[in-house]
Amino acid sequence: MLNLMWINGEFVESASTQRFEVINPATEEVITTVPRGNGEDVERAVAAANAAYLHWRKIGSLERKEMLHEVARKIRTRGEELAQLITSEGGKPVIENRDEVEWVASCFEYYAELGRDQIGRVVAPVFEHQMSLVVKEPFGVVAAIVPWNYPILLMAWKVAPALAAGNTVVLKPSELTPLCNLFFAEIFDHLPRGVVNIVCGFGKECGEPMVTSPGTHLVAFTGSVDTGRHLAVLAAQQLKKIHLELGGNDPFIVCDDIDVDTAVRAAAWTAFLNNGQVCTSAERFYVLEPIAKKFIEGMAEFSKSLRLGNPMGPDVDLGPLVSEAQRQKVEARIAQGVQQGAKIITGGKRPAQFDCGYFFEPTVLTQVDEGMEIMRSETFGPIAPIQVVKNIEEAIARANNSEYGLGASILTNYLEKAMLAAENIKAGTFWINDPLTDNDAAPFGGMRLSGHGRELGIEGLDDFREAKHILIDYKLERKSYWFPYRWEK
Ligand code: NAD
């Protein structure tokens, strides 16, 4: 197991000489300890990344493409090891982490190819014998800071396009899931030294210096709104570009023209996948009145049938939450909702059958409204609050009444209703009848408080490069518009 930081191609301890524990959320046991990185470590990593940039930005696109494909090959070769590691420190069922591993490999392949495609365009020249090239250049060193819920996927969505665009990287994983990111030292070890550096530690001590260091040129951050806002202010002091992928409070509309059993399965998956610890989890359900009773009963019954257990096991739908702090946050949010009038239909407590692990029952609530925090803010837990609405117009209005704008979903057999919702709800991704499915080639990101910038697709590559206009005049001659000016009537 890799439990050292990786700077300039070498495995190192922190200058702090301190370490912190990594906990298995299913057993509450300490898996290992890792270095507690600080500003001094970050500066070493930033220096290595700047040195590596001089070579990496100029490397030919075929050579770079081959190195990124090699990353994907190594990920697949070591996929099972990696999937189990993500499960052991994050608690997500291993069956889901096998998918995450595959998506990561696929993302590196996608950007390996996209990176050797166009790097700009040629625009119509304003004068004779000229050419205007628009060339997209890398920024330099990217500070990539990622959370714990999809720890290697969100790393790949940053590191793959950053490298394909010619940047070098300093990466910091979440303090809850450092191991699966540190594992990538062995996946990236064929890249020139310093092209990727991995430091680990806590936000304030290790993450902030990555943002404030004059040696980083772009910040790519995924995490909570509060941290994102704080980092945006720090980055603004240096007018440094920051790419923010933040939290959500996604609405999910269930129309009355659908098969209720299918709707229940789609809704339960979107609310409870990874215990609701998905940035695009459905956090608010708006169900049309004619089918509401049947839908609520179906959600209650189906939620009770979900199998909680050791996430390494084969027949497990839900593992533990990532940490005790996260579980307490969910409990507090539900208690507050109940105090404000929400009704728990099923779940709402720690399951009795476990004597350790941060497990929590999938929870369905009704009698909720937008006045409640549980409907207004991101909970990031296994909850499905359901509000009954009269018609599609009311559903759209309520869905759109939010400070967030990450994702939104609808289930309907009528394209007109689906498109009415898609056009009127502010969200970076809108899913019609297949919630949560992403596509490497299509952009992902948020509107409003959910952030700005996009990952994936050509948009996700362009966020890691900046445009330069190169004007070429291939005939050097005196221009009529140079000094001295002449006025002729
Ligand atoms: P978080 O903001 O607490 O931490 C995210 C990362 O930022 C971690 O690596 C953490 O160490 C670091 N960090 C924390 N404080 C910092 C500071 N002061 N300076 C620099 N770095 C700092 O978020 P989290 O709890 O790890 O993740 C959950 C959040 O992430 C949720 O809000 C979720 O919606 C969001 N998320 C968003 C997306 C998206 O693509 N929009 C995807 C996944 C998760």
Confirm if 279 and 270 have CB atoms less than 8 A apart: no
**Atom 26 of ligand 1, residue of closest alpha carbon:** 147
Going residue by residue through the chain, which has 489 residues, state the pLDDT in tens, using 9 for 90 and above: 689 999 999 999 999 999 999 999 999 999 999 999 999 999 999 999 999 999 999 999 999 999 999 999 999 999 999 999 999 999 999 999 999 999 999 999 999 999 999 999 999 999 999 999 999 999 999 999 999 999 999 999 999 999 999 999 999 999 999 999 999 999 999 999 999 999 999 999 999 999 999 999 999 999 999 999 999 999 999 999 999 999 999 999 999 999 999 999 999 999 999 999 999 999 999 999 999 999 999 999 999 999 999 999 999 999 999 999 999 999 999 999 999 999 999 999 999 999 999 999 999 999 999 999 999 999 999 999 999 999 999 999 999 999 999 999 999 999 999 999 999 999 999 999 999 999 999 999 999 999 999 999 999 999 999 999 999 999 999 999 999 998 766
Closest by Cα among 265, 269, 171 to 222:
171
Q: Supply the pLDDT for residue 486.
A: 83
Q: What is the pLDDT of residues 307-346, one digit of tens each?
A: 999 999 999 999 999 999 999 999 999 999 999 999 999 9
The residue whose CB lies within 8 Å of the most ligand 1 atoms, and thus the one to mutate among 224, 231, 243, is: 224
Q: Is 245 a catalytic residue?
A: yes
Q: Supply the pLDDT for residue 489.
A: 61
Catalytic residue (choose from 96, 245, 361, 378): 245
Confirm if 64 and 348 have CB atoms less than 8 A apart: no
Joined together, the tokens standing for residue 218 give: 């772009």
Report the distance separating Cα 159 and Cα 147, nearest Å: 14
Q: How many CB atoms lie within 10 A of CB 69?
A: 15
The atom number, within ligand 1, closest to the CA of 279 reads: 34
- In order, the DSSP letters of 112-174 are HHHTTS--EEEE--SSTTEEEEEEEEE-SEEEEE--SSSHHHHHHHHHHHHHHTT-EEEEE--
Confirm if 120 and 462 have CB atoms less than 8 A apart: no
The atom number, within ligand 1, closest to the CA of 248 reads: 34
**Atom 4 of ligand 1, residue of closest alpha carbon:** 223
Q: Supply the pLDDT for residue 168.
A: 99
**pTM (whole model) above 0.85:** yes
| Backbone phi and psi for residue 127, each to the nearest 5 degrees, phi listed first | -130, 170
Distance of CA 428 from the midpoint of ligand 1 (Å):
18
The residue whose CB lies within 8 Å of the most ligand 1 atoms, and thus the one to mutate among 20, 103, 145, 182, is: 145
Distance of CA 181 from the midpoint of ligand 1 (Å):
15
Closest by Cα among 170, 160, 148, 17 to 91:
148
The strand order across the sheet containing 451-452 reads: 10-12, 5-7, 196-198, 168-172, 141-145, 218-222, 241-245, 451-452
Distance of CA 147 from the midpoint of ligand 1 (Å):
5
Distance of CA 223 from the midpoint of ligand 1 (Å):
2
Distance of CA 438 from the midpoint of ligand 1 (Å):
20
Report the distance separating Cα 15 and Cα 38, nearest Å: 7
The atom number, within ligand 1, closest to the CA of 172 reads: 9
| Backbone phi and psi for residue 263, each to the nearest 5 degrees, phi listed first | -60, -40
List, chain by chain if needed, residues with CB within 6 Å of any ligand 1 atom.
Answer: 145-149, 154, 172, 174-175, 202-204, 207-208, 222-224, 227, 230-231, 245-248, 279, 378, 380, 406, 446, 451
Distance of CA 246 from the midpoint of ligand 1 (Å):
7
Q: Is 279 a catalytic residue?
A: yes
The residue whose CB lies within 8 Å of the most ligand 1 atoms, and thus the one to mutate among 226, 227, 279, is: 227
The atom number, within ligand 1, closest to the CA of 247 reads: 34
The residue whose CB lies within 8 Å of the most ligand 1 atoms, and thus the one to mutate among 149, 237, 249, is: 149
Distance of CA 319 from the midpoint of ligand 1 (Å):
21
Q: Supply the pLDDT for residue 1.
A: 62
Q: How far is CA 307 from the centre of its chain?
A: 26
Distance of CA 128 from the midpoint of ligand 1 (Å):
52
**Atom 28 of ligand 1, residue of closest alpha carbon:** 223
Catalytic residue (choose from 96, 107, 279, 378): 279
Q: Supply the pLDDT for residue 397.
A: 98
